[in-house]
């Protein structure tokens, strides 16, 4: 199932995790070292001709290596900063994602998670049948 993950350094593929939950299964990619999983999966918006500067206040935060950075102003020339929280499902939004939009070309999403599920779909009925048999053998 993890075969469709794009590989450059292998870090993204190695961050993949699959597990079972009481009402299904879960699949996730990315961690503190691989924070670009969403960008690779979803892609980035196309660069639009942006002129002028955009100032944003960056609050005090801790880097991945544990260094504390005090709050400060950052200026982006010919760029814009957008913040959004993508939907995880109908009722829940994910963590905030911050992107800088510039004149760079758009990056197409690779949708490797969707492809992985599509690849496993033909095996779904076999897995469902096996799990139902296991449930029938249980005594409550």
Q: What is the pLDDT of residues 41-60, one digit of tens each?
A: 777 766 556 667 778 888 89
Domain span at 86: 46-105
* Domain shared by 61 and 98, yes or no: yes
C-alpha dihedral over 23, 24, 28, 31, to 10 degrees?
40
DSSP, res 87? B
* Domain shared by 101 and 50, yes or no: yes
* Domain shared by 96 and 131, yes or no: no
Tell me the mean pLDDT in the region 121-140: 78
CA end-to-end distance (rounded Å), the chain? 33
pTM above 0.75, yes or no: no
**Count of domains forming the chain:** 2
* Domain shared by 114 and 79, yes or no: no
* Domain shared by 50 and 84, yes or no: yes
* Domain shared by 90 and 100, yes or no: yes
* Domain shared by 101 and 114, yes or no: no
* Domain shared by 38 and 88, yes or no: no
Interatomic CA distance for residues 59 and 72, integer angstroms: 7
- Distant-in-sequence, close-in-space partners of 99: CB < 8 Å, separation ≥ 6: 39, 44, 45, 81, 82, 83, 84
* Domain shared by 138 and 93, yes or no: no
Give the rounded percent of residues in the chain with a pLDDT score beyond 90.
Answer: 6
């Amino acid at each position: 199932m993890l075969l469709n993950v794009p590989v450059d350094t292998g870090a993204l593929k190695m961050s993949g995790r699959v597990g079972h939950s009481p009402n299904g299964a879960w699949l996730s990619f990315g961690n503190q070292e691989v924070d670009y999983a969403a960008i690779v999966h979803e892609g980035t918006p196309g660069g639009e001709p942006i002129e002028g500067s955009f100032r944003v206040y960056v609050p005090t935060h801790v880097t991945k290596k544990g260094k504390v950075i005090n709050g400060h102003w950052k200026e982006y020339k010919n760029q814009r900063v957008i913040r959004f929280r993508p939907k995880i499902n109908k009722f829940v939004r994910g963590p905030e994602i911050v992107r800088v939009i510039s004149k760079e070309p758009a990056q197409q999403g690779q949708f490797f998670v969707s492809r992985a599920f599509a690849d496993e779909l033909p095996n779904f009925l076999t897995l469902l049948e096996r799990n139902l048999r296991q449930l029938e053998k249980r005594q409550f």
